[in-house]
Amino acid sequence: MKQERSPNFTVVAFILAAGMALSGYLLSFTIYRSQVANDVVSVKGLAEKEVKADWAQVSIYFSRSLMLSKQEYDESDQQVIVPKLYKEIEADHKIIKGELIELGIAEDEVGDIELWTKSEDFRGEDGQHTDTKVIVQGSILVESTKVKTVKQIDGAMSRLMSKGITASTGKEKYHFSKLNDIKPEMIREAMAAARVAANELAGNTGVTLGRIKSANQGRFSIVDKGENYGDKNRIDKKVRVVTEIKFYLEN
């Protein structure tokens, strides 16, 4: 009868211990790699560009009026007075438009005239109604790509006083409309700046910069040069974008 050999428990114990050690190492290595892969750095990159407004707008206001005593006003026929003032202001409109075209503004850059009528009552020291002024006002909106020419309109309107026309301008507004043309280049610049910052941070901490985890383009802003807010008062402007990027860090 064959005698069965009992297993060598020392060898079995050694094998089990080695297996557990290897498993522990692999588990620890996996956890370590996972932790390294989850370490990220978040950096921001700034890009700025100076641009000039490419179109502008300004409103022009002008009026005609007639002062009447209370008696004249009461006895007058408004259906005669108002149309008379309308004809005068329409004649002024033609002169103003001609002045704008001579200045260099294209005809299709001059909007249609808008008209409205109002009256103002005047009273004496005793509070009695003495006079009434009937006023017809007109306005036109100029929108032009000739930005520097728009800046000259106010002076041109002042010179019309010599022709008996009272015309004034509102505040010029200057706009930049070609943001889409410069967006790609500015995004590239902002991302490059972010990568430089991330590389410097990684180098200072003794790790290697890995691939991008996420990127946020950020919002573009346009402001007048030298200002923090507002983008309509000056021809010179500054475009700004801040991009935020997250990079993985590796040992």
- pLDDT one-digit tens code per residue, 221-247: 999 999 989 999 999 999 999 999 999
- Cα 72 to Cα 78: distance, rounded to the nearest angstrom: 11
Which domain-ending residue is among 113, 148, 175?
Answer: 175
Q: Give the pLDDT of residue 22.
A: 44
DSSP code, position 126: T
Same domain as 62, residue 133: yes
Same domain as 59, residue 9: no
Same domain as 163, residue 59: yes
Q: Give the pLDDT of residue 27.
A: 38
Same domain as 66, residue 140: yes
pTM of the model: 0.74
Same domain as 80, residue 34: no
Same domain as 2, residue 29: yes
Q: Give the pLDDT of residue 218.
A: 87
Same domain as 167, residue 85: yes
Of the candidates 156, 185, 202, 190, the one whose C-alpha atom is nearest the C-alpha of residue 51 is 185
- Tens digit of pLDDT for each residue in 30-51? 333 434 445 888 899 999 999 9
**Residue stretches of the chain with pLDDT short of 70:** 1-38
Neighbours of 251 (CB within 10 A): 9
Q: Give the pLDDT of residue 38.
A: 56
Q: Give the pLDDT of residue 10.
A: 56
Domain count, the chain: 3
Domain extent, residue 24, equals 1-38
Neighbours of 177 (CB within 10 A): 11
- Cα 157 to Cα 137: distance, rounded to the nearest angstrom: 15
Q: Give the pLDDT of residue 94.
A: 94
Same domain as 73, residue 162: yes
Same domain as 116, residue 11: no
Which domain-ending residue is among 153, 175, 197?
Answer: 175
Same domain as 149, residue 74: yes
Which domain-ending residue is among 134, 150, 175?
Answer: 175
Q: Give the pLDDT of residue 142.
A: 98
DSSP code, position 3: P
